[in-house]
Amino acid sequence: MAAPKKGASRRQLAILVGGGALLVMLLAIQLPRLLGGGGEPVVASESTTAPLEPATGTGATPLPVPASLAELTTSDASPEAGESQLASFGRFSSKNPFEASSAGGEPLRPATAGSTPIGVRLGRGADLPPPPVPTPRQRPLPRPGSQTESGGYAVIVRSIAVSRGRRLAEAEASNVRRDGLSVRLRVSSDYSTLRPGYYIVAMGVYRTYARARAAREAARARGYKRAYVRRLPR
């Protein structure tokens, strides 16, 4: 029993010594790399930047510019206009948006006293004169004794047929005047309300029937019992 135990102890001791030696060797190899950055020189990567040219008259050192930025185009250059695209706004003339313009592009001017009157078409046919202004028609003056002159009520004192002559009718009117009545000789054919073909000796033209009736009573009081009132149209 004592011999096997001694053999097992020796094997464990040999394994322990060998493991310790192996650990020391690994530490001796890896420790310098951990402390000195691996022990291998670091090779700098090639830079992709391109140096900028120094500006004229300055002594500053140019800064490197990445190659990707150097390949970009400048934004100051105006782009080329493609087909059916507007190249520049400078081709159009400026215009006041609050100024009215005509179809031809010229601004409309306000009308003045010597300008073309309103209603006359400009352009073709502009030399045509304006239409004449119609003159008002003058009404003829009414004849004495016509129905256009009179209007109202009249008192018929005497009537004489036209066939007997005007001289006889004027004599009858004179007799009535001598009796104190104011009468006038008229022709019945001038009035639509009277029987045509007679000379009439009539007292005035009264606007109201009451006045005409009072005149009729005055004529009857002077002996003209057949006096009557008739309306004369205007």
For 8-33, how does the pLDDT look when each residue is reduced to its tens digit (9 = 90+)?
788 888 888 888 888 888 888 887 77
> What confidence category does residue 141 fall into, taking pLDDT thresholds of 50, 70 and 90?
very low
Which residue is listed with tokens 């002159």? Answer: 149
Question: Do residues 47 and 65 touch, judged by C-beta distance below 8 A?
Answer: no
Q: Average per-residue pLDDT in the chain? A: 72
Tell me how far apart the alpha carbons of residues 224 and 228 are, in angstroms, rounded to a whole number.
10
Q: Could you tell me the end-to-end alpha-carbon distance of the chain, in angstroms, rounded to an integer?
A: 176
Considering only 50-54, 77-81, 179-183, 193-197, which range has the smallest mean pLDDT? 50-54
pLDDT in tens, 171-194: 999 999 999 999 999 999 998 889
Segment 70-96 shows an average pLDDT of 62
153-232 CATH fold: Alpha-Beta Plaits (3.30.70)
Quick one: average pLDDT of 99-114?
A: 57
Look at residues 223, 219, 156 and name the one whose alpha carbon lies nearest to residue 191. 156
User: What pLDDT score does 34 carry?
Assistant: 75
With a cut of 60, say whether residue 148 has pLDDT above it.
Answer: no
Residue 146 has pLDDT above 50, yes or no: no
> CA torsion sign, 56 to 61 to 64 to 69?
negative
- The pLDDT score that the predictor gives to residue 2 is 57
pLDDT of residue 204: 86
Q: Which of 229, 205, 228 is nearest to 150 (CA)?
A: 205
Distance, CA of 51 to CA of 57 (rounded, Å): 18
Strand ordering across the sheet containing 198-206: 184-187, 198-206, 152-161, 228-232
